[in-house]
Chains A and B, each alone.
Chain A
Amino acid sequence: MQAKQSGTLVSGLAVLLAFQAAGAMLQLALHLQVPGSVLGFFLLWAALATGWLPLAVVEEAADLLLRHLLLLFTPVVVGVLPYLPMIRDQAWLLAAAIIVGTCSTALLTGWLAQSLLNRLDARRTPHSEASGFVSSGDLQTADLQAPGTTSGQHSLGRKPDAQQHTAKPEPAESGDGA
């Protein structure tokens, strides 16, 4: 993986830490029960989805941390050691409870998600695909066409407002909507 033009490992880590800090401040300010890192996750997702932050800035650092996520969890697992005697008395019962709870959650979520996803895919037609996001898609199409239609004028007399139009970054999915 080559160092990218707009992002390095350190700048990526800085961005991740900054978003975590922003999430922590949000948690404190709003007295939320959700930890700062989870709020930071949603903030970073929003920043990437809106195009405010280019993916290349965080990509390398994020991929590094996620590739070694198991390593990061190891000390947490070791931290259970002091509590083993406390749990041992009812270990089998607790194991049964946790197995039932975990398996039922995984199976219910998995089955439900798969059947809903398959149903949505089966219903997929050109007509229904456009529904829901048709307005934003049309807007983007119009927006993209604007510089094209004015291209004649563009070559004759440079229109500053037309240039602003083209400079505005648009989400990549505009092609899907059209």
Chain B
Amino acid sequence: MSSPIAQFTNNPLFGIAITVVIYTLAATLHAKLRTQLLNPLVVTAVAVMLILTTLQIPVTHYRLGGDMITFWLGPATVALAVPLHRQVQAWWRYMPALTLATLLGTVAGLSGAPLVALAWHTNRNLVLALVPRSVTTPIAIELARTLGAVPEITAAFVIVTGVLGHICGPRLLTLAGVHHPVARGLAVGVAAHGIGTARMLTESEQAGAASGMGMSLAGLLTALIIGGYATCFLVR
């Protein structure tokens, strides 16, 4: 009925195997060459996309296994409480300052990209999809629905934002003279959610924990701001 390739790919094994194998190769290469240009996340994603496109394998087939990997993002998000707990005892006195910095950064993130897009008269759907882009995917998708944007487009923007922050964030902060590990972690977590946090966990546990907290705080504040806005101004 279907081709042998399709028979093989229409199975969770395909998505899991291709992702884990290519990721392991990419991570080994990355560890040997020590260059951020060969970031394992980007290398693996691009390689998988190329394979799917050239062999004309439907993304729905890949997702059978891919979704099983994605599932573990949930427990991994919960697990961010562990580095946070290990670090946070030294941070209690800093919490108001960190919350204030997160709030202002979140507001800049919520308004910055949509304003640039509006200035160019972008399609309204795309502008709305840009708004919740700097928070972690599950929150962003819920908030996109709240705003009346297309959740899938928002998800794509969330990923692009995360990858951008993951690759450029630490370098940008170094250039700007931000060297404090807690400030660096917080900034990348607020700007680039979990994908940024994954990078900061490789920088230091302190930066990783700050990044996880920045991501969660930014997610909560964004949900409060957009949820509050939607409750007050949008009639369902």
Contact = CB atoms under 8 A, between A and B. Distances in A.
Contacts of B44: 71, 74
Nearest to B182: A117
B187 A113 contact: yes
Contacts of A62: 79-83
A170 B156 CA distance: 46
Contacts of B42: 77
Contacts of A78: 19, 45, 48-49, 52, 59, 62, 66
Given A38-B216, A74-B19, A94-B157, A107 B76 contact: no
Contacts of A132: 92-93
B59 to A, nearest CB: 5
A75 B78 contact: no
A45 B186 CA distance: 17
By size class, the interface of chain B is 35 or more
Given A37-B74, A80-B159, A106-B187, A48 B108 contact: no
A61 B168 CA distance: 29
Nearest to A83: B156
A101 B164 CA distance: 11
Given A33-B223, A78-B59, A83-B153, A59 B112 contact: no
Interface string A119-151: 010000000010011000000000000000000
Contacts of A109: 101-102, 104-105, 183, 186-187, 190-191, 214
A34 B197 CA distance: 19
B187 A41 contact: no
A142 B196 CA distance: 43
A17 B77 CA distance: 10
Contacts of B153: 83, 86-87
A contact residues, range: 35 or more
Contacts of A81: 49, 52-53, 59
Nearest to A106: B191
A132 B91 CA distance: 13
Contact of B89 (A59, A104, A172): A172
Interface in B110-161: 112-114, 116-117, 120, 122-123, 126, 130, 133-134, 136-139, 142-143, 146, 152-153, 155-157, 159-161
A115 B142 CA distance: 34
B216 A41 contact: yes
B32 to A, nearest CB: 16
B38 interface: no
Contacts of B19: 71, 74-75, 78
Contacts of B157: 94, 98
A29 interface: no
A103 B156 contact: no
A167 interface: no
Given A38-B136, A66-B208, A78-B52, A105 B73 contact: no
Interface of A: 13, 16-17, 19-20, 23, 32-38, 40-42, 44-45, 48-49, 55, 58-59, 61-63, 65-67, 69-84, 86-87, 90, 93-114, 116-118, 120, 129, 132-133, 171-173
Given A37-B74, A78-B48, A109-B183, 10 more contacts: A32-B223, A34-B220, A38-B139, A61-B75, A65-B79, A69-B197, A73-B73, A101-B114, A102-B169, A103-B191
